[in-house]
Amino acid sequence: MYVTSRGLIVVDVQKDFCEGGSVPVAGGARIATAVADLVERSAGDEYQYVVATRDHHIDPGSHFSDTPDYKDSFPVHCVAGGEGGEFHPHFAPTVTGGKVDAIFFKGAHSASKSGFEGADEHGTSLADWLRARGVEDVDVVGIATDHCVRATALDAVKAGFRARVLLDYSVGVAPDTTASTLDDFRQAGVTFSGEAPAPR
């Protein structure tokens, strides 16, 4: 009998995207803690597989800018090998403790907001990794709802997965772009649960 699995995709819970980082999202540290708690209690039970994505920039071209528009260009962040690209300390112990099955690095030489543009240490894409393990349903959480969580969830549907975003475990940059993101989800067939926290 063919058994499908549910996966959890944790998007970019990294130091540079939380308070004190180079591109901080208000509430990022709180989400890092919440996501860690979710993984600790759900890995191997509700979720057969848990993966995490990381921005991992080497030379992303115009994605880095001294005059960023905060849509396509941003200040320097998550540089490969730098401290800002590391997982936030509220989430990092969950990774080192073995609760995360694979890490997918994205954006070495491009913006690459979606986790589905990334690859693991062996060069395997996220979509191929999930399919090889019978995953058909994914929940997406992390930072930020209106940027990389959005791109990852939309690409999950494009890749043939059923995708749901858990808003209680995600945080957006701004109210207007978060609201428009929810409209994008509805149109694309991405479901979501919980409430989008009001960015502060």
Q: Which of 99, 106, 146, 155 is catalytic?
A: 106
DSSP character at residue 72:
S
In the chain the beta strands, taken as DSSP E runs, fall at 5-11, 49-55, 102-106, 135-143, 162-171, 191-193
Residue indicated by tokens 């808003």: 167
Q: Which of 12, 16, 139, 155 is catalytic?
A: 12
Whose CA is closest to 36, among 199, 169, 198? 169
Is 78 known to be catalytic? no
DSSP string computed for 79-113: BTTSGGGSBPTTTHHHHHTT---EEEEE-SSS---
Helix (H, G, I), strand (E, B) or coil at 130: helix
Residue indicated by tokens 């701004």: 174
Is 137 known to be catalytic? no
Is 99 known to be catalytic? no
CA gap 175, 6 in Å, rounded: 30
In 12-85 the beta strands, taken as DSSP E runs, fall at 49-55
Q: Which of 18, 78, 148, 155 is catalytic?
A: 148
Structure-block tokens of residue 130: 């999930």
List active site positions: 12, 106, 148
